[in-house]
Amino acid sequence: MLFLNAKFIDLDLGENAVIVNEEDLKGTSYYPQDRVLIESHAGSVIGNIYSTKTMVQKGEVGMLVSELAEISISEGEEVKLRHAEKPESIPFIKKKMDGQVLNPHEIRTIIDEIVSKKLSNIELSAFVSSTYINGMNMDEIGEMTKRIAETGDMISWEKNLVVDIHSIGGVPGNKYALLSIPILAAAGITIPKTSSRAITSPAGTADVMEVLTNVELKEDEIKRIVKTTNGCLVWGGGVNLAPADDIIINVERPVSIDPQPQLLASVMAKKIATGIKYTVIDIPVGKGVKIKNEAEGAKLARKFIELGELLNIKVECVLTYGGQPLGRAIGPALEAKEAIEALQDPKNAPKSLIEKALSLAGILLELGGAAQIGEGQNLAWEILESGRALEKFNQIIIEQGGTPKKPEEIELGDYIEEIIAPIDGYVTDINNTGITNVVKEAGAPRDKKAGLLLNSKIGNKVKKGDVLYTIYSGSEERLVSAVNLARRVYPVKVEGMLIERISKF
């Protein structure tokens, strides 16, 4: 055991850490990177040892501010370090690596230790890799989903019919929720929409909404807003919903894997945690999105429905076309602008955006009893076209703490470059991944003013010199970088009708 005096260290290592003088480790059984339990009179916390010659003196232990808070001590007070026991879930992770089925206790232990940060990134990556490779059966997924929800905050509602729309993502420009939610809320349907910020995309729904209003709200604020307006469009991370999910995502991202058990659990755990009883899940299908073809989409849809049954949540899935961006705008500010324009003047809005927003809203209008079967889309259009959706949207913006803006009031990046068609021809492809990368290179999602506006979409005829799309950025350097990338990856492809000329046999 080591007895050391706590010293505050201002460093965010993304994990619990304690910094100990090399001299204090010599001749002990404590090594750098050992996992230790740090105990005070008031509690204990787990962390990894890192060593220094000078950052803390002999007899001191450098601790992060969050750790000091967790065990309620101040600088200078004594703490006790001792070897932390190996996480209880290690043999269960090993079991999944060996291709076995985990029982409910084992799954709950793994999730609990993820949330309490007892598992290191190495251990967590081994778990995620093994579920990716060996899979999980529906009982395992159901148990994991429930536990991911239970280990965070749970919101409950007085009303019974609380609905939700969820996209499993991958389509750039996917801002339809800014239309669908107010349409539904205007029809009296309760739809407390929590969304994520961008993970790998240039703009999550929360990022887009944040251009217009506050999205970081606490549970009681969300409840008040939904009570007043029937809906909301907030960031899920403002509430402690399914915290295991974010931790798991952090180890999936570097290797670009998204194991299906985790995907299913991630989506449905947030439904449980937000008290949703009915959800429509939008599965975009196409090149450059998660799901490449309809058969794959249908298979995933069946799994969502099966899992929903286990969890007492009614799930309906829709496969939507995801082969090119939705609408013309990609990037937080541009998407917010396009959404408001569509709410103001839906007849002149991009057809793909309107169609998706209406069809998803339509399903829920029918389910919610606001429209007859087969009449949902028509009612949705009526609400949109009459301006009631815009009115509701503005009400939500105000309740969340913002001020409604006109489209022209939304600030876009000052650094702009137009990319023009190199030849006469047709737009034969718009590459989702290419578009995403260019917009991220321009600075999105952190730079909300960064984005890309498409002038043409697949099938459109263009003349040499026509503007194909415009890139926006808040920084000159990043604009240059995005333009360079665009010139390399060529995300909007123009081809003449003549594809190839063969002159010799």
Q: What is the number of residues in the chain?
A: 505
Compare residues 102 and 124 and give the one whose CB is closer to a second copy. Answer: 124
Is position 200 an interface residue for a second copy (rule: CB under 8 A)?
Answer: no
Measured from the Cβ of residue 455, the count of other Cβ atoms closer than 10 Å reads: 18
Is position 32 an interface residue for a second copy (rule: CB under 8 A)?
Answer: yes
Pairing relationship of beta strands 163-167 and 278-285 according to DSSP bridges = parallel
> Is residue 199 marked as binding?
yes
CB 258 within 8 A of CB 264: no
Q: Cβ-count burial of 413 within 10 angstroms (0-12 exposed, 13-18 middle, 19+ buried)?
A: buried
Using the CB atoms, write b or e for 91-117: b if 16+ within 10 Å: ebbebbeeeeebeeebbbbbbbbbbee
Across 149-246, the runs of DSSP E, i.e. the strands, are 163-167, 191-195, 231-235
Is position 69 an interface residue for a second copy (rule: CB under 8 A)?
Answer: no
Rounded-to-integer distance, Cα 112 and Cα 46, Å: 14
Least gap, CB of 75 to a second copy (angstroms): 14
Is position 33 an interface residue for a second copy (rule: CB under 8 A)?
Answer: yes
Stretch that binds a second copy, among 28-36, 106-114, 280-288, 464-472 (CB under 8 A): 28-36
> Is residue 200 marked as binding?
yes
- Six-digit token pair at 436? 């995403």
Least gap, CB of 438 to a second copy (angstroms): 13
According to CB under 8 A, which one of 23, 29, 218, 409 is a site residue for a second copy?
29
According to CB under 8 A, which one of 108, 175, 290, 440 is a site residue for a second copy?
440
- Six-digit token pair at 419? 């990319």
Stretch that binds a second copy, among 21-29, 206-214, 291-299, 485-493 (CB under 8 A): 21-29
CB 462 within 8 A of CB 421: yes
Compare residues 216 and 219 and give the one whose CB is closer to a second copy. Answer: 216
Least gap, CB of 445 to a second copy (angstroms): 9
Least gap, CB of 62 to a second copy (angstroms): 9
> Is residue 386 marked as binding?
no
Quick one: which H or E segment has residue 264?
A: helix 260-273
Compare residues 99 and 496 and give the one whose CB is closer to a second copy. Answer: 99
What mask, x for binding a second copy by CB under 8 A, covers residues 101 to 130?
A: -------------------xxxxxxx-xxx
Catalytic residue status for 258: yes
Rounded-to-integer distance, Cα 207 and Cα 189, Å: 24
Q: How many angstroms separate the first and last alpha carbons of the chain? A: 82
Stretch that binds a second copy, among 31-39, 100-108, 272-280, 489-497 (CB under 8 A): 31-39
Compare residues 90 and 310 and give the one whose CB is closer to a second copy. Answer: 90
Rounded-to-integer distance, Cα 430 and Cα 492, Å: 5
- Six-digit token pair at 404? 């409604």
Q: Is 371 helix (H, G, I), strand (E, B) or coil?
A: coil
Quick one: which H or E segment has residue 267?
A: helix 260-273
Rounded-to-integer distance, Cα 64 and Cα 127, Å: 27
- Six-digit token pair at 127? 């778990």
Amino acid, single-letter form, for residue 152: G
> Is residue 266 marked as binding?
yes
According to CB under 8 A, which one of 5, 37, 39, 55 is a site residue for a second copy?
55
Please pick, among 258, 282, 429, 447, the residue that the annotation labels catalytic.
258
Please report, as residue ranges, which positions from 454 to 483 form the binding site for a second copy (by CB under 8 A): 474, 477-478
Vertex 376 angle, CA 371 and 381, to 5° = 115
According to CB under 8 A, which one of 54, 74, 156, 503 is a site residue for a second copy?
54
According to CB under 8 A, which one of 52, 260, 378, 433 is a site residue for a second copy?
52
> Is residue 388 marked as binding?
no
- Six-digit token pair at 51? 């060593």
> Is residue 359 marked as binding?
no
> Is residue 205 marked as binding?
yes
Stretch that binds a second copy, among 93-101, 365-373, 395-403, 453-461 (CB under 8 A): 93-101
Please report, as residue ranges, which positions from 128 to 147 form the binding site for a second copy (by CB under 8 A): 128-130, 132-134
According to CB under 8 A, which one of 6, 16, 38, 51 is a site residue for a second copy?
51
DSSP annotation string for 98-166: TTPPPPHHHHHHHHHHHHTT-S-HHHHHHHHHHHHHH---HHHHHHHHHHHHHTS-----SSS-BEEEE
> Is residue 156 marked as binding?
no
Measured from the Cβ of residue 255, the count of other Cβ atoms closer than 10 Å reads: 11
According to CB under 8 A, which one of 302, 446, 463, 487 is a site residue for a second copy?
446
> How many residues bind to a second copy according to rule CB under 8 A?
51
Quick one: which H or E segment has residue 44?
A: strand 43-52
Compare residues 217 and 248 and give the one whose CB is closer to a second copy. Answer: 248
According to CB under 8 A, which one of 206, 251, 371, 462 is a site residue for a second copy?
251
Compare residues 164 and 210 and give the one whose CB is closer to a second copy. Answer: 210
Binding region for AMP:
170, 196-201, 205, 266, 290
User: Which are the catalytic amino acids?
Assistant: 258
The residues of the shown chain that bind a second copy, judged by CB under 8 A, are: 1, 9-14, 19, 27-29, 31-33, 50-55, 90, 93-94, 97, 99, 120-126, 128-130, 132-134, 251, 254-257, 440-441, 443, 446-447, 474, 477-478
